[in-house]
A = this chain, B = another copy of it.
């Protein structure tokens, strides 16, 4: 078996990454979105990195997958007493990573090194890799101007209609050596785009200078999993955003966002009727149970996705002969 790379973010992405991790352990590298990173109270928060870290370490909350289990809120309560901001609501355990990240960055360490240190400390053998050590910020364009995704989410509560996105500094950001190593691995078997919002979770990674070209040139099967099931995003605002952007808020709409990039697309069984029309976009389609309720669901979907990628590889080999 070779190595696997996932491009992932959000809770859904972390769940699939966990399935892949259980199957492939240290042979998995997960490239994670940092476009939704934000500063709060002077600390550098990387929500997608930390969600991934807690999930692969097996310490993520079952109910609130973005934070550690048994989270408490003593700091937040005292912040409120002292006149601090109400939002975002900070968990106590969730504060540790930003605090150490702040110290590490101030000491000249790269975000990637800091993240790999966390992996080591938590016993995570897969490599969790920020998409870049350079700051990229996703802005949501609204009728009232551009706001960071952080403000769109926390202050505007995702209410204003989305007119577009900007990925500030993505064009100048560099892929880290660790990301390049993962994608250049001699036995790279597949690249998986995990189920997550295509606009602010996955797209920032694809906008880093050279990323799309590298993914295409590399040639390993590139497979995306839908974050939309039966016309609804399980969590988050992908469906709402797609409608506001004039896209079809379905799995097919998501597949369209990855046109000319991916080789295969995984839709849920409830969306089997869409398979043919998605295939007509020029990609292979797998129909599978994509709802990940249990750990077994995560592993089963991961296995299905890897098998799908293997099938694409084999088909290609046949085509070449």
A63-83 CB mask vs B (1 if < 8 Å, else 0) is: 000001000101101110111
Residues of B within 8 A of A117 (CB): 82-83
Contact in complex: A92, B78 (CB < 8 Å): yes
A84 neighbours in B (Cβ, 8 Å): 96, 99-100, 103
User: Which applies to chain A's interface (DSSP): helix, strand, loop or mixed?
Assistant: helix
A178-215 contact mask (Cβ, 8 Å, vs B): 1 or 0: 00000000000000000000000000000000000000
Partner of A77 from the list B79, B83, B93 (CB cut-off 8 Å) is B93
- Indicate with 1 or 0, residue by residue over A105-134, a CB within 8 angstroms of chain B CB atoms: 010000000000110111000000000000
Q: List 14 A-B contacts (CB under 8 A).
A: A41-B103, A42-B102, A75-B92, A78-B93, A78-B96, A79-B100, A81-B96, A81-B121, A82-B100, A82-B117, A83-B100, A83-B121, A84-B96, A84-B99
List A residues at the B interface (Cβ < 8 Å): 41-43, 68, 72, 74-75, 77-79, 81-84, 92-97, 99-100, 102-103, 106, 117-118, 120-122
Residues of the B chain whose Cβ atoms lie less than 8 Å from the Cβ of A79: 96, 99-100
In the bound complex, residues from chain B placing their C-beta under 8 Å from that of A74 are 72, 74, 92-93
